[in-house]
Structures are given as structure tokens and as C-alpha cells.
Amino acid sequence: MIRKCLFPVAGYGTRFLPATKAMPKEMLPVVNKPLVQYGVEEAISAGLNQIGFVTGRGKRAINDHFDVSYELEHQIAGSEKEKYLSCVREVIQNATFSSTRQPEMKGLGHAILVGELLIGYEPFGVILADDLCLVEEGEDSVMTQLVKIYRRFGKSVVAITEVPREDVSKFGVIAAEEIEPGIYTVSDMVEKPSPEDAPSNLAIIGRYVLTPDIFEALRHTEPGKNGEIQITDALLKLARKGRVLAYKFRGLRFDCGSIEGYVAATNYVYQNIYSKNPK
Ligand code: G1P
């Protein structure tokens, strides 16, 4: 059973300054919903309704967003405007939220290790809210797709996509053998390699299902790329034991950590989702 999903949300969002000076980047709206809410809705759709945030300074708005706002609720109760809150109310009713702080920015791997407190010894999902993943209406969300693979194999699973060679240095990149269409056993993984050193053009995107042995691996992972503790390096230790799968997900992914990706996501959501069914 996987019930928990971790959201590392401590990053600064420097690429969006000044918008992110006093506001978490995860609260940037794509049309009318903050990025992090898309991620939480995806987790819930996969049955992961115990949500854990690894936050940092200046991230209070995320916790507040998933809490009841009494003044606001009271003010608009019974009015036309109440409908605008319904989609976040639904999220709040269908999940529990807890959070802990990452006191220092020492990388994604470190953030996940800090989250051990919220997870305990069980498998869990990880969603990087910057990566907005969308699927067609009625299709499995990307996290649901990963959970299904986990249920079959009982191993950690990373979501991957093919990227142009010149872009590999933005991602964790894998070497892998395809065992079924779209499902791979990972033999090597490198965090943000140069195009010449990349083992392939299969890039990891911000969706993972991790088995709890990742925490022990993280405890023994030295700082890697950019002096940070990398989840990719910790996963490599499990991959060497044949314990990591990669899955070429079905759906669209927008890099909302970049201005271009964020604008593309906004246009897409407006045209294909919001304008058809505003909620
Ligand atoms: C992180 C991971 C990287 C992964 C990427 C997906 O990097 O370290 O392996 O490919 O997320 O978005 P970041 O984008 O946080 O630098």
C-alpha cells in the first residue's frame, strides 16, 4: 500500500524573481490554481492522500493554502463566490497535510531525507510541483501510472521522458534496458551530465515512487553535482542492486520552473482545460 506523498518545496525559485521574493514559487498560479495544488490533486488521484511538505523559510503560504480560511469562508458563505473555493475545499477534505522544515538547502536528496520523519518506513511518492504533469480527461495521472508499476514490481520507479541531447544537462539521466514497452530496469544514472557524458537521452522528471531503503542510501550519499546531496546518486545505489525501474509516462509535462514552461503550461491549461470547464 502506498499512502504518502512527499513534496519537497523548500527551493527559492530564483528564476521567478521578483515574483517569488515573498511568495513560494509553488504558489504561482497556472490560470487560477497554484502549481502545488495540481501536484496534490495528482497525488490524491493516485490514492496518496497523506501529503507531506518539506518546506523552508518563507513557505507558510503553502500550509495555509491547504487549511480552512475561516474569515474568507465566513465572508463568502451562501454567496455566488462560494464556488471558487470548492475545488480546494475538496482537496482539503480528501487528504491530510503535515510538514517539516529543511533547515539548510543541501539538495533534493537531502530534502527527501529530511522528509523521512513524515514518511516512516514505507514506500511513498515524490512530486516536484515545478514539473506540471497533465493527462487527458479519464486517463491515469502520471503518479497513478507509477503506483501501478510499483504494485507490479515492488521496486522504486522514476518517471522518464526522452529529451533532446543538448538538454540532458538539466536532468538526472539514466542508462537502462527496456523490459516491457515503456518499462526499463535502470543500470546507471547521472545527475545533470554534459551531453558528451550522458548515458542516454532518457531524462528523469519530477515524479518518483521510492521504497523506504532510499533513506539508508541517502544517509550514505556524499554531496555530488553542485555540492548537493542528489536523489539520483542515492537511487544509483539501489539501481546497482536491480531495485530501480524507469517508466516512460503517458501525458504532458511542463517545466514550470522556467518562465517558458510556465507560460506554455498556462496557455495549455487555459485553452484545453479551464475554458472548457472553469473551476
Ligand atoms: C531535479 C533532479 C533531477 C531531475 C529533475 C526533474 O533537478 O535532481 O534529477 O531530472 O529534478 O525536474 P532540479 O530540476 O530540481 O534541479
CA of 228 to the centre of ligand 1 (A): 12
Check pocket membership of 128 for ligand 1, CB cut-off 6 A: yes
For residue 205, which atom of ligand 1 is closest to its CA? 6
Check pocket membership of 233 for ligand 1, CB cut-off 6 A: no
Question: What pLDDT score does 89 carry?
Answer: 87
Ligand 1 pocket test, pick from 132, 158, 170 with the greatest ligand atom count within 8 Å of Cβ, gives 170
Residue 268 has pLDDT above 80, yes or no: yes
Q: Which protein residue has the closest C-alpha to ligand 1 atom 10?
A: 171
Residue 64 has pLDDT above 80, yes or no: yes
CA of 154 to the centre of ligand 1 (A): 23
Are 72 and 24 in contact by the 8 Å Cβ rule? The answer is: no
CA of 205 to the centre of ligand 1 (A): 7
Question: What pLDDT score does 71 carry?
Answer: 85
Residue found by looking up cell 480527461 in the block:
137
Give the start-end residues of each E strand in 22-149. 29-30, 33-34, 50-55, 96-101, 124-127, 131-134
All three cell numbers of 241: 542492486
Q: Which protein residue has the closest C-alpha to ligand 1 atom 15?
A: 108
Mean pLDDT of 26-40: 96
- Give pTM, 2 decimals: 0.96
Which range is least confidently modeled, 68-82, 101-115, 173-187, 190-204?
68-82
Mean pLDDT of 19-30: 94
As a whole number of angstroms, the distance between CA 59 and CA 22 comes to 9
Question: What pLDDT score does 109 carry?
Answer: 98
For residue 191, which atom of ligand 1 is closest to its CA? 9
Peptide linkage before 18 cis (omega within 30 of 0): yes
Residue 79 banded pLDDT, cuts 50, 70, 90: confident
What number of helices (H) and strands (E) belong to the chain? 10, 13
The percent of residues above 70 in pLDDT, for the chain, comes to 100
Which range is least confidently modeled, 58-72, 115-129, 169-183, 227-241?
58-72
Check pocket membership of 42 for ligand 1, CB cut-off 6 A: no
Mind listing the domains of the chain with CATH numbers?
4-276 (3.90.550.10)
Residue 147 banded pLDDT, cuts 50, 70, 90: very high
Check pocket membership of 253 for ligand 1, CB cut-off 6 A: no
Phi, psi of 163 (to 5 degrees): -125, 160
The percent of residues above 90 in pLDDT, for the chain, comes to 85
Question: What pLDDT score does 223 carry?
Answer: 96
3 state SS of 137: coil
Which range is least confidently modeled, 86-90, 164-168, 232-236?
86-90
Residue 179 banded pLDDT, cuts 50, 70, 90: very high
Question: What pLDDT score does 75 carry?
Answer: 84
Check pocket membership of 174 for ligand 1, CB cut-off 6 A: no
Residue 279 has pLDDT above 80, yes or no: no
Check pocket membership of 107 for ligand 1, CB cut-off 6 A: no
